[in-house]
Amino acid sequence: MAINLEVPKKHRPLIEQAHQVAMNMLRPISRKYDIAEHEYPKELDTLAAMIDGLNESGASEGAGASGVGRGSKVSEGDGVKNGSNMASVTSIAEMCWGDVGLMLSFPRQGLGNSAIASVANDEQLERFKGTWASMAITEPSFGSDSSQVSTTAVLDGDEYVINGEKIFVTSGERSDSIVVWATLDKSLGRAAIKSFLVTKDMPGVKVERLEEKLGIRASDTAVITFTDVRVPKENLLGSPEINTEQGFAGAMATFDNTRPLVAAMAVGVARASLDLTRDLLAQAGIEIDYDRPANLQSAAAAKFLQLESDWEAGRLLTLQAAWMADNRKPNSLEASMAKAKAGRVGSDVTLSCVELCSSVGYSEAELLEKWSRDSKILDIFEGTQQIQQLIVARRILGLSSSELK
């Protein structure tokens, strides 16, 4: 099977609709909620209801974070499938052309929802349908190395008892449930790490505080503690078996689907910066000529062309990772490549656009300075730039995590 680089025809109406929402509903309130950190964007309730309606009707084919999934099995002769993963990355990129923080604040579109879609069984997918799930991985003792999870889940009868502390939980206050990564047995290492659906009303769940941040300020980021939280054993997502042969692969399968989503966010915000910068340069009398070599144009135009080419590379890697997921092809390498490239490009492009536009880029007269702040987190969460490069190196060289640290 070969990937076609054109946007799938069936997804074009969805992408156009997402673009209209980004332009007419997200952009106008972008600055408002950047300033009013921790204030819930009530305008998103209407949009969330619209997305729910599209998902129920099947018109969106599962667009958004909750739409990612393992995909149906593709057999020989079935042809190429452009499914929910492709719909999700393309629509999310358009939404982030409007505002990343607001997109992350959409009800029922948290990263925990994509984790559920990635690893839950069919019964769980139906039971947890409609929940708004944040994802809790990072702890005070570690950042990017998810294998160091120390939050514990101890089976007691028909329930798991969860104890631990999670930090930097996106939508941690606003969500109604949390996908918590915890270990069943620390002595068994990575293989014992599982994810659990914990609802906020369970005794022992406490939002300790909200973080004040550089960017994505419209999105709430919380510290949450779990003290003797009793969770039904049926809320362990996927298989409860500890497979030491498989190791950490089961838990990491979540990232194969969520990392392209974060890459799509970076693609969207970088595109917004490029579009506005092109307009501002044109107003200053600097035209970008795509028919002339960069070295024959002004320094600003040459720099812009270089930024656009970098952006295109990030976009194509993101589409490839999503396409592979839709077609049931192993995409761990490609997901990390997309996240690494798009994350780095997002930061480079947005900050370079601030520089190209000089005082206009640095002031609050335009959203360029905000986009440069928002984009930085996209190079950090869901695995930092350095971690992605390490994963890519391991995959290419065929080395284990113990062999290449």
**Model confidence over 7-41: pLDDT tens digits?**
888 889 989 999 999 999 999 999 999 999 999 99
Please report the pLDDT score of residue 249 as a whole number. 58
Q: How many CB atoms lie within 10 A of CB 126?
A: 9
The single residue listed with the structure tokens 């490069």 is: 389
From 94, 139, 369, 382, active-site residue: 382
pLDDT at position 74: 45
Specify the pLDDT at position 363: 97
Residue 244's pLDDT is 65
Region 373-397 average pLDDT: 95
What is the band of 268 on the pLDDT scale with cuts at 50, 70, 90? very high
> How is residue 218 written in tokens?
């419209």
Work out the pLDDT band at 273, boundaries 50, 70, 90: very high
**Element at 164 (helix H, strand E):** strand 159-170
Greatest pairwise CA separation for the chain in angstroms: 73
Architecture in CATH for domain 133-235: Beta Barrel (2.40)
Instruction: Provide CATH 2.40.110.10 ranges for the chain.
Output: 133-235
- Compute the distance between CA of residue 99 and CA of residue 40 in angstroms, rounded to an integer: 15
Band (pLDDT 50/70/90 cuts) for residue 76 is: very low
Determine the CATH number of domain 249-397.
1.20.140.10
Q: What is the DSSP letter of 210?
A: E
Predicted confidence (pLDDT) at residue 359 exceeds the cutoff of 70:
yes
Find where tokens 């076609």 sit.
4
pLDDT at 62: 60
Is 403 in the active site? no
pLDDT tens-digit profile of 132-151?
A: 999 999 999 987 777 789 99
pLDDT the model gives residue 194: 93
Name the residue among 63, 15, 85, 59 with its Cα closest to residue 326.
Answer: 85
Q: Which two tokens stand for residue 180?
A: 């918590």
**Token pair in block for residue 181:** 């990564």
CATH fold of the domain at 9-127: Butyryl-Coa Dehydrogenase, subunit A; domain 1 (1.10.540)
Q: How far apart are CA 112 and CA 154, in angstroms?
A: 22
Contact 207, 222 (CB under 8 A): yes
Run of H or E residues at 49: helix 44-57
Backbone angles phi, psi at 323, to 5 degrees: -60, -40
At 4, the pLDDT band (50, 70, 90 cuts) reads: confident
Q: Which among 156, 229, 218, 244 is positioned nearest to 196, based on CA atoms?
A: 229
Range list for CATH 1.10.540 in the chain: 9-127
Digit-coded pLDDT (tens) for 158-177: 999 999 999 999 999 999 99
Q: Higher-confidence residue: 255 or 303?
A: 303
What is the average pLDDT score of the chain? Answer: 91
Band (55; pLDDT cuts 50, 70, 90)? low
Q: How far apart are CA 60 and CA 86, in angstroms?
A: 11
Residues in the chain: 405
Worst-scoring range by mean pLDDT, 17-26, 47-56, 308-317? 47-56
Cβ contact 241:199 at 8 Å? no
- Residue 355 pLDDT more than 60? yes
pLDDT category at 3 given cuts 50, 70, 90 is: confident
Average pLDDT of the segment spanning 353-357: 98
